[in-house]
Amino acid sequence: MLPPVNNTPQTTVTQPVRKRRRHRRLAAAVAVLVAAMLFGAYGWQPAEDGRAFRSPYLAQVGSRYADTPIARFHYVRAGSGTPVILLSPGGTSVIGWKDQLDALARDHTVYVVDLPGQGYTQLKDSDFAFDLGAMVSAVGAFMDGLGVRQAALAGNSWSGGWALAFAQRHPDRVTKLALLDATGLDLPGTLMWESLKIPVIGELAVKLSTGKSTVRGLAEGMMVNKQRLTAQLLDEWWAPMTFHDNIRATYLLERRLDWAQTERALPATKTPTLVLWGKQDTIQPVERAHRFAELLPDEQLVILDGCGHAPQLDCPEPVNRHLQSFFTDSR
């Protein structure tokens, strides 16, 4: 006797099996991706290729160091006269003021300093918070380390916001203040910068942005006069961006800097202030310069056409003229 024939379609059995297999493969792929991202964010470190770079600019002007409990501050110095301190633009080094050092040194003692997490400064304080209070304390520590009681301050981008916060908290120590395309307003940044606030994404983004070609793209995006971004300037810009401490500082600063504090204090900021802005800034739109001018009680506003986010590099000649004029008699 023959067994009964099973005429049930096989698809009723195989379709659920195939679906489960697809789900398992998808879950495994997601798990691998998440593991890779977590490893990249918290386990992997890119090579510090910039450590091998020997800066022609620093060989020319001469690196100096000021040892304090917070950090071993890297700086350059030139000239004599009333002190002017230029804070290295956020994410770069003293090279950010290369065209201003000698121009301002004709009338002043000029210091250009890398704050913690920038350039070639070496952080000592393992508990350094990389928030606004910490960066303000770093400015004061550097001045104290050199015995500078009062100075005119200038900053570009993040460092403009740090200079502003220092002047607000220590008005007796700042004679004049120059803000070049500065942070300091409680407004969102570009999508790229806002993404750094997201855990894992921020760590990965900064680590993957240390290649020289990526740095070139970022720098070119900030400048109108791209011919000024020479191969040497690119090398100088790129090298300290590969340092692990500076990588970590970048995403921590983006997450922890609270510009609501500085904006609230603007109407009470009595320090004479020059607001100097590149009209074609793609990072801090020029409308923000007008916002600063509306809120600051003692300000001069200058908008430079044909200049981007780093006007001191993009348009050094007009920037030098305005800074020289503004810092005159800055006692």
pLDDT digit string, tens, across residues 218-263: 999 999 999 999 999 999 999 999 999 999 999 999 999 999 999 9
Mean pLDDT, to the nearest integer, of 81-86? 97
Q: Can you tell me which residue has the tokens 């910039």?
A: 50
> What is the pLDDT confidence band of residue 330, given thresholds at 50, 70 and 90?
very low
Query: What distance in Å separates the CA atoms of residue 176 and residue 118, rounded to the nearest whole number?
Result: 23
Mean pLDDT, to the nearest integer, of 320-329? 93
String of DSSP letters for 65-90: EEE-SSEEEEEEEE--SEEEEEEPPT
Mean pLDDT, to the nearest integer, of 274-288? 97
Higher confidence at residue 20 or residue 100? 100
Instruction: State whether CATH 3.40.50.1820 applies to domain 49-327.
Output: yes
pLDDT digit string, tens, across residues 109-136: 999 999 999 999 999 999 999 999 999 9
For 36, 39, 40, 128, 309, the CA distances from 198, given in Å and listed in that order, are 17, 16, 14, 21, 24
Residue 58 has pLDDT above 50, yes or no: yes
pLDDT of residue 14: 76
Higher confidence at residue 43 or residue 284? 284
Out of 16-20, 62-66, 164-168, which region has the weakest mean confidence (pLDDT)?
A: 16-20
Mean pLDDT, to the nearest integer, of 148-177? 98
Higher confidence at residue 202 or residue 285? 285
The whole-chain average pLDDT of the chain stands at: 92
pLDDT digit string, tens, across residues 191-211: 888 898 899 898 898 898 899
Higher confidence at residue 9 or residue 190? 190
pLDDT of residue 12: 54
pLDDT digit string, tens, across residues 4-44: 555 555 555 577 888 888 878 877 777 778 887 786 777 87
> What is the pLDDT confidence band of residue 329, given thresholds at 50, 70 and 90?
low
Check if the beta carbon of residue 174 is closer than 8 Å to that of residue 166.
yes
pLDDT of residue 287: 98
SS3 at position 173: helix
Which helix or strand (DSSP H or E) is residue 114 part of? strand 108-114
